[in-house]
Amino acid sequence: MSIQWFPGHMTQARKKAGETLAMADVVVEVLDARLPQASSNPMIHQLRTFRQRPCLKLLNKADLADPEATKAWLAYFDAQPGVKAVAISCKKPGDVAKVPGLAQKLAPHRCDAVKPLRLMIMGIPNVGKSTLMNALVKKRVAAVGDQPAVTKSQQRIDISSRLTLYDTPGMLWPKIDHPIDGLMMAASHAVGVNAYIDEEVGTWLASYLLEHYPALLKARYGFDLTDMDAVAVIEGIAKKRGCLIKGRGGELDLEKASAILLIDYRSGALGRITLETPELRAARARQLAEAAALAVDPE
């Protein structure tokens, strides 16, 4: 399954973002710490490199991510030119308070009322941009919700004479090339619910958890995983949680069970989980390249 989701307002948002970036000093890109690269919009990279703007990458929701994987991602991003990465939770005021100072180090020439620091907050939907904005401003200036694409328009906020923020709508890109990226974003609620089927995404997530976090699965649902595949895990959840289709003689409701798994992952009830590491992403990229090569030249 290839997941694609690009609502009409995102085309206009991209155009407006490109114009505003000319006035910004630093791009503050908010990522989901559980899928840092998959949640990094390549259009943002293109826009900021064209304007030669440094980037502060905030790995938000770090309290939900595997801490060892987060360390690996911070080292990966910090090795890139013009980039500084930090793991935070936008719900923690102490974490958010560090952001202006970190951004200032990337633009030391913007440091007073004559030349205020201008930050552009960017990222894909539902990664925490609005929560970050509200915490920085210390009042509700951006709509916050558990559905992607809550924010649909850009706004400018003057925090002080020395600091200005530009908030942008969550933007995806027109075509998600790597199917697993789409699955990771769907599992993490970064795309609209009309773009995917819970059972398909839940089955992929169950397969990943079986391979990388079996102990967390067992601890959450309390059944033996021996010889189980992903479908069996979804069936096991359905049995444990009484997910039955009405009027079907006790037939398991796998869609509902998949939704339970997705909610438990998104909320952190399953534990601290990361869906990709730099090494795993590189391995997936090699597999895709090999598959593409075989498709061009089967021999």
- Percent of the chain beyond pLDDT 90? 61
**Alpha carbons 120 and 158: distance in angstroms, whole number:** 12
**Given this model, what pLDDT does residue 12 score?**
65
Average pLDDT for the chain? 88
**Given this model, what pLDDT does residue 262 score?**
98
What's the average model confidence in pLDDT over 104-127? 89
**Given this model, what pLDDT does residue 17 score?**
74
Q: How many CA atoms lie within 13 A of 113 on its CB side?
A: 2
243: pLDDT strictly greater than 60: yes
Range from 85-94, 142-151, 190-199, 247-256 carrying the lowest mean pLDDT: 142-151
Range from 13-17, 54-58, 74-78 carrying the lowest mean pLDDT: 13-17
**Given this model, what pLDDT does residue 234 score?**
98
Range from 53-57, 193-197, 227-231, 260-264 carrying the lowest mean pLDDT: 193-197
What's the average model confidence in pLDDT over 73-96? 96
CATH T-level fold of 179-296: Conserved Hypothetical Protein Ylqf; Chain: A; domain 2 (1.10.1580)
Nearest to 55 by CA among 45, 41, 67: 45
Rounded to a whole number of angstroms, the distance between the first and last alpha carbons of the chain is: 26
**Alpha carbons 117 and 25: distance in angstroms, whole number:** 7
**Where, residue-wise, is CATH 1.10.1580.10 in the chain?**
179-296
**Given this model, what pLDDT does residue 148 score?**
46
Please write the tens of the pLDDT for every residue from 269-292: 999 999 999 999 999 989 888 877
**Where, residue-wise, is CATH 3.40.50.300 in the chain?**
9-167
**Given this model, what pLDDT does residue 150 score?**
46
Grade residue 192 by pLDDT with cuts at 50, 70 and 90. confident
Residue 206 to residues 193, 234, 235, 240: CA-CA distances in angstroms? 19, 7, 11, 15
What's the average model confidence in pLDDT over 200-208? 97
What's the average model confidence in pLDDT over 49-77? 97
**Given this model, what pLDDT does residue 2 score?**
60
Grade residue 232 by pLDDT with cuts at 50, 70 and 90. very high
5: pLDDT strictly greater than 90: no
- What's the residue count for the chain? 299
- Percent of the chain beyond pLDDT 70? 88
**Alpha carbons 97 and 217: distance in angstroms, whole number:** 35
Q: Both tokens of residue 47?
A: 């826009």
Please name the CATH architecture into which domain 9-167 falls.
3-Layer(aba) Sandwich (3.40)
149: pLDDT strictly greater than 50: no
- Please name the residue that has the structure tokens 């069936």: 235
295: pLDDT strictly greater than 80: no
